[in-house]
Amino acid sequence: MPNIAIVGATGAVGQEFLKILNERNFPIDELRLLATKRSAGKRVSWQDRELEVHETTHESFKGVDIALFAGGSGSTEFARSAVDSGAVVIDNSSAFRLDPEVPLVVPEVNPEDVKWHKGIIANPNCSTIIMAVALKPIFDLAGIRRVVVSTYQAVSGAGREGIEELGAQVKAWSQNEDLTSAVFPYQIAFNVIPRIDVFQEGDYTKEEWKMVKETQKIFHVPNMAITATTVRVPVFRSHSESINVETDRLVSVSEIREALSKAEGLIVDDDPGNDRYPMPWFSADKDEVYVGRLRKDFSIAQGFNLWVVGDQIRKGAATNAVQIAELLL
C-alpha cells in the first residue's frame, strides 16, 4: 500500500483530505501530515491512528509515494523536492496548472491526461472543476462555441481564515460591534464582492482568467470562447455558478437534460413546478456537482442557461485530488 503525505493538513482542504481518504477507504500504509512550523506537534486522530503534524521541509518526502499538496505557497517551495524524493505530487495550488509539462485533470473530463505526468499533476481551480463537470456532457453532445459564467463563491474558498472572518463579522454585527476585514477587501457579511484574487490583464481578476485558461486546457480546446465574472458571497461552503452555454450543434433542452442526467459526478436537481433547484446549503459536504434551472436562452439560436452548485472544498479540491490519486493507483 502507498505512503501518503498531506501538505497543509491543518487547513480547510487538508482536513477534508483526511475525511475523504477515510470515506473512500483509500489504501494507505503510512500517512504523513505536514504543515508549517506553527502547527508542528499538533495531534490528529485518523481511523485508529494518532498522527502528529510535522513542519514541511525538503526532507519530508522520503519514502512517500503520493504527496497531496494543499499548503498554499508550500507548493512552489516543496513540490519539486517531493518529486525528487520519488513522490508523485497532486497539487491544489495554481503554481503548476498552466505549465505545459503538467497535466491539469478533472477525472470526469480528461482522466487520460494523468498518464503523461512527469511527477506533478495539477488539480484545477475550484470553480473551474465545478464548471468543467457540468460542461462535459454538453461538450460531448453538441460541442461548445461559447461560455459566459458568473460565480457566487463561498468564503471557505479563501481557506480557514475566510470561514473565520464571515463568522466573526456576523457575530460582531449581531452584537452591534464594529466589523473588521482582513481576508476580504471589504466586509463580506451581508455583502457581495465582485473581485476574487488580484486584477490582471483587461481588468479581469486572476480567478476569472483561471476559469478561462484552465477550462481550455482541460478540454484541449485552446480557443474555446469563455468569459467569467467571479464574485464572493457570504456563504460558508459550496460555490454556485450561473452558466450560459452556446453549443456548436443545434440540440434541444431535453437532449441536454438527458446527457446531464447520465453524466458521471452530476446530479440534475431541476423541478421548477416543485420549487427544486440546487443551492449551496444542500450541496455542502457532497461530492457531486448539482445542476438545475436548465432552460433555453431565447436570445440566441443555440444557447442554454444552467445553474450549477458544488462543494468546492470537496469536488473543487480534495475529492478531485483523491480521484486523481485513485487513477494513479
The reply on whether position 156 binds ligand NAP by CB under 6 A is: yes
Active site annotation includes 126: yes
The reply on whether position 280 binds ligand NAP by CB under 6 A is: no
Burial label, 142 (beta-carbon count in 10 A; 0-12, 13-18, 19+): buried
The reply on whether position 103 binds ligand NAP by CB under 6 A is: no
- Among positions 36, 181, 244, 302, the unique one binding ligand NAP when judged by CB under 6 A: 36
**Cβ-count burial 298-320 (b if 16+ within 10 Å, e if not):** eeeebbbbbbbbbbbbbbbbbbb
- Give the span between the Cα atoms of 263 and 137, in whole angstroms: 6
Identify any residues that bridge with 5 across adjacent strands, giving them in sequence order.
32, 67
**Cβ-count burial 239-254 (b if 16+ within 10 Å, e if not):** bbbebbbbbeeebeee
Span interacting with ligand NAP, options 31-39, 186-194, 228-236, 302-310, rule CB under 6 A: 31-39
**What residue spans of 71-114 are helical by DSSP H?**
74-84
Q: At 192, is the secondary structure helix, strand, or coil?
A: coil
- Among positions 60, 93, 205, 283, the unique one binding ligand NAP when judged by CB under 6 A: 93
52-91 binders of ligand NAP (CB under 6 A): 56, 70-74, 77
Size of the site for ligand NAP (CB under 6 A): 31
126-145 binders of ligand NAP (CB under 6 A): 126
The reply on whether position 226 binds ligand NAP by CB under 6 A is: no
Sign of CA dihedral 245, 250, 253, 259: negative
> Which listed residue (54, 58, 126, 220) is catalytic?
126
The reply on whether position 240 binds ligand NAP by CB under 6 A is: no
Residue number, 224 or 235, with CB nearest to ligand NAP: 235
* Site map 285..324 versus ligand NAP, x via CB under 6 A: ---------------------------xx--xx-------
Q: At 251, is the secondary structure helix, strand, or coil?
A: coil
Q: At 184, is the secondary structure helix, strand, or coil?
A: coil
Closest residue by beta carbon to ligand NAP: 11
Residues that bind ligand NAP (CB under 6 A): 7-14, 35-36, 38-39, 56, 70-74, 77, 92-93, 126, 156-157, 159-161, 312-313, 316-317
